[in-house]
């Protein structure tokens, strides 16, 4: 049996805990629909005369399409239409073109060649799903099989087959300059030279299926106003709408997307493939068309969490301080880019993990292979490298003979520390999480580790500084293919130095720039932005008044920081077996709220205010 | 055969939202004539509770009971633009947009009430139960329903609001990777206790003790749902799941749930959770969105615990019995590392 | 293609449909009989989202030939609530936060109902076994098991 407790005493001075609805275990708005089976999922929008669309898929990893013969399929019972790449008005897209990121590299339907096993080469639209399947089986495709590459590092070797001419080096081109995304902070090699220990290892993340119980699907139909409605379980309604408009070369105003409720997603319903396909089917037939992946397609054609390989090299002092950390990362993007190059930037901003390390360097590659394209999944861009970092932390702990929890607390980032992406850390809480988790497991840590705080000890001049940084221009686009860049790891010999303290971009912090009329009343956001940091949280601190935004009632004073006795609040059930959150007595009754009050003299029923007695 | 006990630790932080494309979301709020509020979004509820958490955010900001607010996430014709539910952006971005929309609607509502009560709007407050009253004088009040009726039929005023949340886009620097990638971070730390069978290579996770820092638990039960289910998924990722068992080769690819393995209801792990709440200043009521990060610490903590139990480092996921056994054999037998620390 | 007439009791309503040869019960319920509460998750008999009761016994409707249910009684989640009042299982799932995306819920409820109809006071292990053919990707199962046990306890109390 599991349990949950809310450690309200931690960071209590930074919260306004007098809110009325926030923090309540209110029952889900959608739950009645779920338990009665009436929640409308996309497939519950059935149309009379709805047709069924299925895809013909490549059996090869990599092959040239010589010809496609659809004549036999067209003659099969129930078949209304066979479609191929020729029927897609604008058959090239990349998902993030909607935010001007990357080049269009992926067709909705392959035409010149297939680049992964399972890629779409044609579709059949028929009266029943079974008829569509039967007809798909008789579409004849003449393939010329090409050499393929399945491993991310092999793909960037000089002699590897080119998967897609749009990225002729089998890598995403970062900033139109490099074949990888760089992170450079300080001088890792100088630090390695002074470190007591060097710890190196390689980690491999496996491709993983999102596996929502509802597979990806969409039902599209012509509407009466010369538009098309599309019922979809996309995770990103306007992504899917915009992608459909672009691929089908139609005004987005002619598309009416209905969704908002998905039977699980976990990242697997972002790619916007079923929506343009179903709308295309509706456009070609003038009828409602359903296009949905079966479970096999969901598992092997639908994009998984990609394979990732990470190599980490740490320089560690005898006392456990990590003074340098270097990453070399390879994302297996599969045949098309989709979201992988973006995830690499997200991952690069995440390095070196939640630690304050004065010298960090990383090279991360987005590699094109003949695999099913990878895409988002819960923790995208982070899960794989967190696996690598945290396994590596244990290796470091072993190398220096330290308690694994104490090693993390020693190196943890704290408020005010400069991070490797050149922004100051704030609002950190790693140390407290370590202390509480160890305490819950009954795993003793030293009094010194137990006394540490995310709010103290960070932001010292040394920890807040951007160090002088070694730079290099290795790995320019195309160089690697000629064999001129033998190493994938960050350079051992830098070619330049960037002065300490250098920031190129204005740091964006705190409340973002918005149109002034979109700013909100500061007293309605539930936390105390102006709260003075508490220096020594292990001593019972006096209540710190919020300087900028005084909350109406004074909050309880900050309690001592761990270990503290578990104190689940009354509102949160400590175990799952007592499921009913007891609602507070509420005089207000939504079904009959309007009977009280006095009518002001001389005003009509609809124009007066009613005052309560 | 011997069962070896092992203990492993991992801690992580997790970026909430992504600033790289600016990543906006919008919300619209309007009242019905009887003072109920509708929130129109084009954001997606895929089980994480988008409809529910934005409903609580809207009701808190408006100052009305949660029962008087409904959230519609369904329709691109009525819901304003949203990038989608991914990258832990839902609660953060959409929640912020809803706060702004609801704050604007509240302002209209208070001004309408002020006109009816013949006071200044700044002197009014809501009681959270459907009424607006003069601060310090609870008897001078008007119900929100009557306020809405007056606004609609007498004052010619809508009780509505528009909200958008946009963070300035931040690209990464080509040379240094300098960027403002996200707006805040959630945190977690986790201890795994498990047993490894040195004859079969099987790993059985016995207990999880964890601490998750989520900014603010906007709805504690929704947070609990994410943390329990997310840690289950972490165990599943660590020990079972892959679409490519012999990656990078593509042989023996699973195509159904008989071959694509996940732990079932008989293999759940007792999980003792502590939730910490350090509000992020630009997050809605400080809430950071726990849905994505909750699986992440489980994977390395299990790998570390397996090493602790039998002295085998499995650096390639998933940690299958085959890999564990091969490692034990390569070492000439299990090498328990003893209680760590 | 010749269609076969099939009649059955669907949640107390006499129902007759014409089905294609080889059609499975899942698509017939959803497309012909208009009962959309029964979900389609895999079509392979591996996820349990399509679970219905046939003469009180849980079956995977996606693996059941529609023609074989002639004259039988079929229960789905659409008939679980007795009129406006929810079944205790439904109430327990709601209050216990035993669903997230909700896609597996209808099948879970049917598997749970079959258990409680036969075993009103089940052990935790019996609950686990009863839903072991139903996959959930969101909850980690524990809230579902707890909710079924809660419902059983409440039904027992009510019966006393």
* Span A426-436, pLDDT tens digits: 999 999 999 99
Q: Judge whether residue B252 has pLDDT over 50.
A: yes
Compute the radius of gyration of chain A from its Cα atoms.
Answer: 29
Reduced to 3 states, what is the DSSP secondary structure of residue C125? Answer: helix
Beta strand A63-69 pairing with A113-114: antiparallel
Name the closest residue on chain C to residue A297, using Cα atoms. Answer: C42
Task: Pick the residue from chain B with its C-alpha nearest to C138.
Answer: B229
Q: Are residues B233 and C132, on separate chains, in Cβ contact within 8 Å?
A: no
Average pLDDT for A600-608: 32
Check B265 against C128: CB less than 8 A apart: yes
Report in angstroms the alpha-carbon separations of C74 from A560, C32, C35, C88.
60, 14, 11, 20
Residues of A in contact with C96 (CB under 8 A): 576, 579
Of B262, B234, C39, B256, the residue nearest A300 (C-alpha): B256
Q: Is B118 left (phi over 0), alpha (psi -120 to 50) or beta?
A: left
The predicted pLDDT at position A452 comes to: 98
Tokens linked to B22: 């600016």
DSSP 3-state of B185: strand
* CA-closest candidate to residue B27, choices A520, A511, A33, A98: A520
Q: Which one, of C35, A508, A204, C127, lies nearest residue B314 by Cα? A: A204
Under an 8 Å CB criterion, which residues of A touch C? 1-2, 27-28, 30-39, 41, 43-44, 46, 77, 128, 130, 211-215, 262-266, 294-295, 576-577, 579-581
Q: What is the pLDDT of residue A601?
A: 35
DSSP letter assigned to residue B327: H
For residue A342, which phi and psi values (nearest 5 degrees)? -70, -40
Please give the structure tokens belonging to residue B150: 């007056």
Which chains would you list as touching C if contact means 3+ CB atom pairs under 8 Å?
Answer: A, B
Interface test with A, best of B175, B242, B249, B258 (most A CBs within 10 A): B175
Q: Which residues fall within 8 angstroms of residue B21, CB to CB, at 6 or more apart?
A: A96, A99, A101, B83, B169
- Least Cα separation, residue B55 to chain A (angstroms): 8
Scanning every residue of chain B, which has its alpha carbon at the shortest distance from the alpha carbon of A26?
B219
Locus of tokens 């990038």: B83
What is the arithmetic mean of pLDDT over A182-207?
97
What does chain C come to in residues?
160
Q: What is the 3-state secondary structure (H, E, C) of A473-542?
A: CCCECCCHHHCCCCCCCCCCCCCEEECCCCCCCCCCCCCCCCCHHHCCCHHHCCECCCCCCCCCCCCCCC
Q: What is the side-by-side order of every strand in the sheet holding B160-165?
A: B69-72, B37-40, B25-31, B160-165
Closest CA to A397 of B315, B340, B209, B11: B340
Task: Report CB contact under 8 Å: B248, A300.
Answer: no
Q: Looking at beta carbons, which residues of chain A come within 8 Å of B267? A: none
- Output the pLDDT for position A527: 64
Task: Name the minimum distance, in Å, from the CA of C21 to any CA of chain B.
Answer: 25
Identify which has the larger pLDDT, A378 or B281: A378
Q: Neighbouring chains of A at 3+ CB pairs within 8 Å?
A: B, C
Distance CA A337, CA A169 (A): 13
Query: Does any CB of chain B come closer than 8 Å to the CB of residue C121?
Result: no
CB of A600 closer than 8 Å to CB of A37: no
In angstroms, the CA B4 to CA B191 distance is: 17
- DSSP bridge partners of A611: A598, B142
Q: Which two tokens stand for residue A360?
A: 């960090």
Say yes or no for a CB contact (<8 Å) between B243 and A152: no
Is the pLDDT at A570 greater than 60, yes or no? no
CA-nearest of B212, B191, B209 to B288 is B212
Contacts of A261 in chain B (CB under 8 A): 44-46, 73-74
- C-alpha A437/C-alpha B296 separation (Å) is 15
Share of chain C above pLDDT 90, in %: 94
Answer yes or no: are the C-beta atoms of C108 and C138 closer than 8 Å: no
Q: Is the pLDDT of residue A585 over 60?
A: no
User: Above pLDDT 70, what percent of chain A?
Assistant: 82
Of A31, A43, A213, the CB nearest to C94: A31
A352 preceded by a cis bond (ω within 30 of 0): yes
Q: Minimal Cα–Cα distance from C157 to chain A, Å?
A: 16
Q: Give the pLDDT of residue A463.
A: 97
Contact C31 A215 (CB under 8 A): no
Q: Residue B257: its chain C contacts at CB < 8 A?
A: 42, 44, 46-47, 135
Interchain proximity B179–A234, CB inside 8 Å: no
User: Which tokens in the block code for residue A427?
Assistant: 């609002």
Helix boundaries (H) for B63-155: 95-117, 144-150
User: Contact A300/B242 with Cβ under 8 angstroms?
Assistant: no
**Is residue A598 over pLDDT 80?**
no
**How close is the nearest chain A Cα to the Cα of C103, in Å?**
5
Question: The tokens of A188 are what?
Answer: 């890792």
pLDDT one-digit tens code per residue, B77-104: 999 999 888 888 889 999 999 999 999 9
Q: Minimal Cα distance from C46: which residue of B?
A: B257
- Main-chain dihedrals φ then ψ at residue B116, nearest 5 degrees: -70, -40
Which neighbouring-strand residues pair with A68? Answer: A141
Q: Please list every residue in chain C whose beta carbon sits closer than 8 Å to the beta carbon of residue B230.
A: 140
pTM of the full predicted structure?
0.91
Contact A213 C30 (CB under 8 A): no
Hey, which residues does B276 pair with through a beta bridge?
B213
- pLDDT surpasses 60 at A227: yes
Show residues of chain B in contact with A413, CB under 8 Å.
Answer: 13
For residue C129, the chain B residues in CB contact (below 8 A) are 266
Residues in chain B: 341
Lowest mean pLDDT among A437-446, A504-513, C113-122: A504-513
Q: Does B48 touch chain C (CB under 8 A)?
A: yes
pLDDT digits (tens, 9 = 90+) for A294-331: 999 999 999 999 999 999 999 999 999 999 999 999 99
Are A350 and A381 spatial neighbours (Cβ–Cβ below 8 Å)? yes
Contact status, residue B301 vs residue B308, Cβ threshold 8 Å: no
Query: What is the distance between the alpha carbons of residues B337 and B313, in angstroms, rounded to a whole number?
Result: 12
User: Residue A399 above 60 pLDDT?
Assistant: yes
Which H or E run includes A183? strand A181-185
Percentage of chain A exceeding pLDDT 90:
79
pLDDT value at residue A513: 53
pLDDT of residue A512: 52
pLDDT tens digit sequence for C36-76: 999 999 999 999 999 999 999 999 999 999 999 999 999 99
Residue A27 is predicted with a pLDDT of 97
Q: How confident is the model at residue A522 (pLDDT cuts 50, 70, 90)?
A: low
Collapsing DSSP states into helix, strand and coil, what is residue B167?
coil
Quick one: tokens of A540? 């019972």
C-alpha pair distances (Å), A326 with each of A26, A469, A514, C134: 46, 14, 37, 45
Of the pLDDT bands very low, low, confident and very high (cuts 50, 70, 90), residue A528 is low
Query: Least CB-CB distance to C90: which of A30, A35, A266?
Result: A35
The C-alpha of C40 sits at a distance from chain A's nearest C-alpha, in angstroms, of 7
Angle at CA of residue A107, ends A102 and A113, nearest 5°: 115
Mean pLDDT of B217-244: 97
Cα diameter, chain A: 91
Which residues of chain C are within 8 Å of residue B258 when distances are taken between CB atoms? 44, 46
Residue B303 confidence (pLDDT) above 50: yes
pLDDT at A98: 85
Q: How many residues are recorded in chain A?
A: 613
Contact A183 B222 (CB under 8 A): no
- The beta-carbon neighbor of A14 closest among B61, B275, B279 is B279
Question: Could you tell me which chain C residue has the CA closest to the CA of A583?
Answer: C95
The torsion defined by the Cα of B221, B225, B230 and B232, in degrees rounded to 10, comes to: 130
- Distance between CA atoms of B271 and A476, rounded to whole angstroms? 48
Nearest-Cα residue of chain B relative to residue A298: B255
Is residue A556 predicted with pLDDT exceeding 80? no
B221 touches chain C (CB under 8 A): yes
- Residue C36 with chain A: CB contacts under 8 Å: 37-38, 44, 46
* Per-residue pLDDT band at C2 (split at 50, 70, 90): confident
Q: How many CB atoms lie within 10 A of CB C130?
A: 23
Token readout for B169 is 């886009």
Contacts of B14 in chain A (CB under 8 A): 379, 382
Q: Look at residues C103, C137, C135, A391 and name the one whose alpha carbon lies nearest to residue B232.
A: C137
Interface contact C47, partner B, CB < 8 A = yes
User: Read out DSSP for A330-371?
Assistant: EEEEETS-TTHHHHHHHHHHHTT-SB--S-EEEEEEEEE-SS
Q: What is the mean pLDDT of chain A?
A: 87
pLDDT tier, A502 (very low <50, low <70, confident <90, very high otherwise):
confident
Model confidence over A116-153: pLDDT tens digits? 999 999 999 999 999 999 999 999 999 999 999 999 99
Nearest neighbour of A181 by CB, restricted to B172, B233, B276: B172
Q: Which residues of C touch B266 (CB under 8 A)?
A: 125, 128-129, 132
Say what the pLDDT of residue A610 is: 33
CA distance A195 to A55: 57
Number of neighbours of residue B15 by Cβ within 10 angstroms: 23
Lowest mean pLDDT among A32-46, A451-465, B164-178, B313-327: B164-178
CB neighbourhood size of A294 (10 A): 19
Q: Measured between CA atoms, how close is C42 to chain B, in angstroms?
A: 8
Model confidence band, residue A524 (pLDDT cutoffs 50, 70, 90) = low
CA B305 to chain centre: 27
What integer is the mean pLDDT of A489-513? 76
- Does the structure show a pLDDT above 70 at A600? no
Sorting pLDDT into bands at 50, 70 and 90, what band is B18? Answer: confident
Tell me which H or E stretch contains A114.
strand A113-114
Contact B257 C42 (CB under 8 A): yes
pLDDT for the residue A531: 40
**What is the distance in angstroms between the Cα of B321 and the nearest Cα belonging to chain A?**
16
Q: Closest Cα partner for A82 from A140, A37, A41, A32?
A: A140
pLDDT at A1: 85
A197-205 vs A308-316, strand pairing mode: antiparallel
Distance of CA B241 to the CA centre of its chain: 23
Helix axes B220-239, C142-159, angle to 10 degrees: 130
């Amino acid at each position: 049996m599991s349990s949950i407790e809310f450690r309200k005493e931690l960071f209590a001075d930074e919260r306004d805990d007098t809110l009325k609805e926030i923090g309540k275990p209110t029952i889900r708005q959608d739950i009645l629909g779920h338990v009665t089976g009436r929640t409308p999922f996309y497939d519950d929008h059935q149309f009379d005369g709805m047709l069924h669309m299925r895809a013909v898929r490549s059996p090869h990893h990599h092959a040239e399409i010589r010809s496609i013969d659809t004549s036999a399929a067209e003659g099969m019972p129930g078949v209304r239409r066979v479609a191929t790449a020729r029927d897609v008005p604008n058959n090239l897209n990349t998902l993030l073109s909607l935010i001007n990121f990357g080049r269009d590299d992926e067709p909705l339907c392959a035409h010149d060649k297939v680049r992964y096993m399972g890629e779409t080469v044609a579709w059949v639209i028929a009266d029943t799903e079974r008829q569509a399947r039967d007809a798909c089986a008789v579409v004849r495709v003449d393939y010329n099989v090409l050499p393929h590459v399945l491993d991310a590092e092999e793909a960037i070797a000089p002699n590897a087959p080119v998967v897609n001419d749009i990225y002729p080096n089998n890598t995403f081109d970062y900033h139109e300059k490099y074949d990888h995304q760089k992170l450079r902070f300080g001088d890792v090699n100088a630090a390695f030279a002074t470190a007591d220990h060097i710890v190196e290892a390689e980690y491999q993340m496996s491709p993983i299926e999102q596996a929502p119980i509802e597979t990806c699907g969409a039902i599209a139909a012509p509407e009466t106003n010369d538009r098309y409605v599309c019922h979809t379980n996309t995770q990103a309604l306007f992504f899917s709408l915009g992608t459909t408009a672009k691929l089908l070369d139609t005004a987005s105003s002619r598309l009416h997307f209905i969704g908002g409720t998905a039977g699980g997603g976990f990242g697997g319903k972002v790619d916007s493939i079923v929506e343009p396909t179903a709308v295309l089917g509706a456009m070609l037939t003038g009828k409602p068309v359903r296009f949905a992946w079966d479970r096999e397609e969901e598992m092997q054609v639908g994009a998984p969490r990609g394979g990732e390989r990470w190599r980490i090299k740490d320089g560690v002092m005898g006392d456990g301080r990590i003074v340098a950390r270097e990453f070399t990362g390879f994302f297996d993007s599969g045949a098309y880019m989709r979201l992988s190059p973006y995830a690499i930037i997200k991952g690069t901003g995440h390095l070196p993990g939640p630690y304050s390390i004065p010298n960090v360097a990383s090279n991360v590659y987005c590699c094109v292979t003949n695999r099913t394209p990878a895409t988002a999944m819960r923790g995208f861009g982070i899960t794989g490298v967190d696996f690598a970092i945290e396994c590596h932390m244990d290796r470091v702990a072993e190398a220096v003979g330290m308690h694994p929890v104490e090693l993390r607390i020693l190196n943890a980032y704290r408020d005010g520390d400069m991070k490797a992406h050149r922004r100051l850390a704030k609002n950190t809480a790693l140390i407290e999480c370590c202390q509480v988790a160890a305490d819950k497991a009954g795993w003793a840590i030293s009094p010194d580790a137990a006394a540490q705080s995310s709010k103290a000890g960070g932001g010292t001049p040394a920890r807040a500084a951007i160090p002088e940084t070694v730079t290099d221009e290795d790995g320019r686009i195309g160089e690697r293919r000629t064999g001129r860049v033998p190493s994938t790891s960050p350079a051992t010999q830098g070619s330049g130095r960037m002065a300490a303290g250098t920031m190129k971009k204005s740091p964006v912090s705190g409340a973002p720039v918005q149109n002034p009329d979109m700013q909100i009343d500061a007293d309605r956001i539930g936390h105390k932005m102006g709260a003075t940091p508490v220096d020594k949280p292990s001593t019972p601190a006096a209540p710190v008044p919020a300087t900028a935004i005084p909350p109406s009632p004074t909050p309880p004073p900050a309690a001592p920081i761990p270990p503290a006795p578990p104190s689940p609040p009354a509102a949160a059930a400590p175990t799952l077996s007592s499921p009913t959150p007891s609602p507070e007595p509420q005089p207000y009754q939504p079904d009959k709220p309007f009977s009280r009050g006095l009518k002001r003299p001389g005003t009509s029923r609809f124009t007066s205010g009613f005052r309560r007695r | 055969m011997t069962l070896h006990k092992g203990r492993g630790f991992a801690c992580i932080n997790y970026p909430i939202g992504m600033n790289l494309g600016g990543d906006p979301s919008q919300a619209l709020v309007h009242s019905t004539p009887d003072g109920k509020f509708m929130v129109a979004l084009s954001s997606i509820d895929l089980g994480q509770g988008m409809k529910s958490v934005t409903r609580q955010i809207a009701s808190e900001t408006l100052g009305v009971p949660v029962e008087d607010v409904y959230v519609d996430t369904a329709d691109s014709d009525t819901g304003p633009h949203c990038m989608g539910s991914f990258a832990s952006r839902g609660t953060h971005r959409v929640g912020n947009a809803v706060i702004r929309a609801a704050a604007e609607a509240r302002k209209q509502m208070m001004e309408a009430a002020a006109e009816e009560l013949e006071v200044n709007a700044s002197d009014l407050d809501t009681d959270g139960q459907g009424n607006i009253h003069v601060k310090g004088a609870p008897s001078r009040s008007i119900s929100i329903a009557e306020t809405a009726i007056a606004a609609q039929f007498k004052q010619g005023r809508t009780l509505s609001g528009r909200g958008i949340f946009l963070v300035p886009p931040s690209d990464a620097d080509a040379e240094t990777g300098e960027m403002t990638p996200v707006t805040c971070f959630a945190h977690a730390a986790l201890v795994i206790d498990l047993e490894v069978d040195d004859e079969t290579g099987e790993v059985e996770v016995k207990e999880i003790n964890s601490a998750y820092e989520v900014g603010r638990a906007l709805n504690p039960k929704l947070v609990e749902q994410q943390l329990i289910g997310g840690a289950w998924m972490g165990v599943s990722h660590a020990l079972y799941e892959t679409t490519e068992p012999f990656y990078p080769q593509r042989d023996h690819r699973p195509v159904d749930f008989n071959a694509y393995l996940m732990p079932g209801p008989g293999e759940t792990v007792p999980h003792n959770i502590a939730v910490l709440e350090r509000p992020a200043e630009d997050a809605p009521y400080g809430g950071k969105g726990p849905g994505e990060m909750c699986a992440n610490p489980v994977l390395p903590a299990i790998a570390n615990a397996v090493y602790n139990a039998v002295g085998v480092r499995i650096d390639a996921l998933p940690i299958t019995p085959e890999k564990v056994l091969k490692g034990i054999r390569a070492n000439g037998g299990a090498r328990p590392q003893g209680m760590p620390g | 293609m010749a269609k076969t007439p099939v009649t059955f009791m669907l949640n107390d309503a006499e129902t007759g449909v014409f089905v294609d040869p080889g059609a499975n019960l899942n698509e017939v319920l959803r497309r012909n009989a208009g009962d959309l509460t029964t979900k389609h998750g895999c079509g392979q008999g591996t996820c349990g989202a399509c679970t219905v009761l046939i003469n009180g016994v849980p079956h995977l409707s996606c693996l059941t030939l529609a023609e074989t249910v002639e004259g039988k009684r079929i229960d789905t989640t659409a008939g679980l609530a007795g009129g406006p009042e929810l079944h205790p299982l439904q109430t327990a799932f709601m209050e216990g936060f035993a669903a997230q995306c909700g896609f597996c819920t209808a099948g879970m409820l049917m598997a749970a109902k079959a258990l409680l109809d036969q075993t009103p006071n089940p052990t935790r292990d019996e609950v686990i076994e009863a839903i072991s053919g139903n996959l959930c990707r969101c909850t980690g199962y524990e809230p579902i098991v707890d909710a079924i046990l809660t419902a059983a306890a409440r039904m027992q109390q009510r019966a006393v």
